[in-house]
């Protein structure tokens, strides 16, 4: 498995600003909040939410939340995983954008979409730094507005 490391971009203030500004520029009109996926999506999501003047909800791995609204287990290319959404972080009808670093198979985004919709929110879009096109995540995420800064 090849790991894409964004640490050098995050460590460079100018590069991090350019990256954040590009993600913010791609937000759909009418976005109410950002959802960051653990763990790198927390970093990016927080920066995007702050720069856009929006709130941030975080989707976590199990066992890290005092009160869980809903949990979803899903398949990955290398096993299974579970994500949880904290109670009272997404309001009914709220339009959110899911932010993460890499879009691979789409499983994590699909699970996050399920969490958002279970909470009554609407996924207005997905924003990532890199999309791995060969893994065909868009086929698994029909109808979602996906913005990738780079496609490989």
Q: What's the token pair of residue 115?
A: 């969490």
Question: What whole-number distance in Å separates Cα of residue 56 and Cα of residue 49?
Answer: 6
Residue 116: enclosing H or E segment and its boundaries?
A: helix 107-118
The answer to whether residue 77 is catalytic is yes
Q: Which of 40, 60, 94, 131 is catalytic?
A: 40
Question: What whole-number distance in Å separates Cα of residue 18 and Cα of residue 32?
Answer: 22
Q: Which of 38, 77, 87, 138 is catalytic?
A: 77
* 8 A C-beta contact, residue 27 and residue 44: no
The set of catalytic residues is 40, 77
């Amino acid at each position: 498995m090849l790991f894409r490391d964004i640490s050098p971009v995050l460590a460079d203030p100018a590069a991090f600003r350019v990256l954040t500004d590009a993600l913010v520029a791609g937000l759909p009109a009418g976005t109410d909040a950002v959802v960051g996926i653990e763990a790198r999506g927390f970093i990016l999501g927080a920066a995007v939410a702050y720069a856009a003047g929006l709130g941030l909800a975080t989707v976590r791995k199990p066992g890290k939340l005092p009160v869980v609204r809903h949990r979803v287990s899903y398949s990955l290319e290398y096993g299974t995983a579970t994500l949880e959404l904290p109670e009272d972080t997404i309001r009914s009808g709220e339009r959110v954008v899911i932010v993460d670093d890499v879009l691979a198979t789409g499983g994590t985004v699909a699970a996050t979409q399920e969490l958002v919709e279970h909470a009554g929110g609407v996924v207005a879009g997905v924003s990532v730094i890199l999309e791995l096109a060969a893994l065909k995540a868009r086929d698994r995420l029909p109808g979602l507005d996906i913005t990738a800064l780079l496609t490989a």
